[in-house]
Amino acid sequence: MATLTNNLLFKSPVSLFPHPRLLPLLSYASTLPFLPKISSSRISSTPNYNRTPLIPRATAAPGAKKAEKKERVQRVHSIQEFDSALESAKERLVVVEYAASDSEESSQIYPFMVELSRSCSDVEFILVMGDESAQTKELLKREKVENVPHFSFYKSREKIHEEEGIGPDMLVGDVLYYGDSHSAVEQLHSVEDVQKLIEDHKVDHKLIVLDVGLKHCGPCVKVYPTVVKLSRQMDSVVFARMNGDENESCMQFLRDMEVVQVPTFLFIRDGNIEGRYVGSGKGELIGEILRYQGVRVTY
């Protein structure tokens, strides 16, 4: 077993306890029709100017490119179809957009989900139009979706994350954070996984950058695309990730390493923790990695 020698540098952004919570951005969302005193025929929160409805974008005329959209973004129309789609996905990440035909925000974000669906073949994408029928309204009610656009993320039929009012950058970050299984970032699920990773790289003396976060940490999601990109570009560095709230073994590792703020990046070489960076600054993270690689960095 490898021993971690703790030479830790403390800095101070996001507190680990209590766990960060994502607040709905209600000013960017629409009210659903099944709420009291709201018409059941439409979902809307802003005047209907000359907006382009979402449905034509989602179900355009037949053609090669349009067929690809339909294939990668599955449209479901009932609770039964929804449950069947989650069951078929098994352990793959499923990203569901709950939308409305007259929601401008839904129309704006949907094309980005289509593009993501083309590049993320290991992720399933689903579109639910909340104002399509009584069946879809019932589905949104069951899933406790009160505003659109609303994104929910599922694995093994379990909802693991959800957000409202997000933009393209956050959507991309969420998909990478919760579903990127093909990147060069090693996923660690226990103290034993950390020990094995350290043992594996004692021979090559590579720097290990261990990204420690939480499942629902906004800054952790924000910086993760940078981690993924660096993992594909820096062959001389090993990148790994652990979510402290995944299980008790992971949480014990955080306690042992005195991690009280996330995201925390531990820099490990030859079984020793040479330092840490706490925060989600992309430039600062890159600078710290270069510094521990022996590159002189000035700020």
The single residue listed with the structure tokens 């899933």 is 143
Question: Is 220 assigned a catalytic role?
Answer: yes
Average pLDDT on 178-194 reads 85
Nearest of 108, 107, 82 to residue 94 by alpha carbon: 82
List domains and CATH numbers for the chain: 71-176 (3.40.30.10), 184-291 (3.40.30.10)
How many other C-beta atoms are found inside a 10 Å radius of the C-beta of residue 56?
11
Average pLDDT on 192-217 reads 93
pLDDT digits (tens, 9 = 90+) for 238-280: 999 999 998 999 999 999 999 999 999 999 999 999 999 999 9
Phi, psi of 93 (to 5 degrees): -70, 135
Contacts 24+ apart (CB under 8 A), 159-167: 160/215, 161/215, 161/216, 162/22, 163/22, 164/24, 164/25, 164/26, 164/28, 164/29, 165/24, 165/25, 165/26, 165/27, 165/28, 165/29, 165/105, 166/25, 166/109, 167/109
Higher pLDDT, 9 or 74: 74
Question: Is 217 assigned a catalytic role?
Answer: yes
pLDDT digits (tens, 9 = 90+) for 57-88: 333 333 444 444 445 899 999 999 999 999 99
Lowest mean pLDDT among 102-106, 176-180, 233-237: 176-180
Cis peptide before 56 (omega within 30 of 0): no
Catalytic entry in 94, 217, 250, 278: 217
Distance CA 112, CA 41 (A): 27
Give yes or no for a contact between 287 and 296, defined as CB atoms under 8 angstroms apart: no
pLDDT of residue 26: 26
Catalytic entry in 220, 230, 254, 259: 220
Distance CA 87, CA 131 (A): 24
Confidence of residue 121 (pLDDT cuts 50, 70, 90): confident
pLDDT of residue 177: 87
pLDDT of residue 145: 95
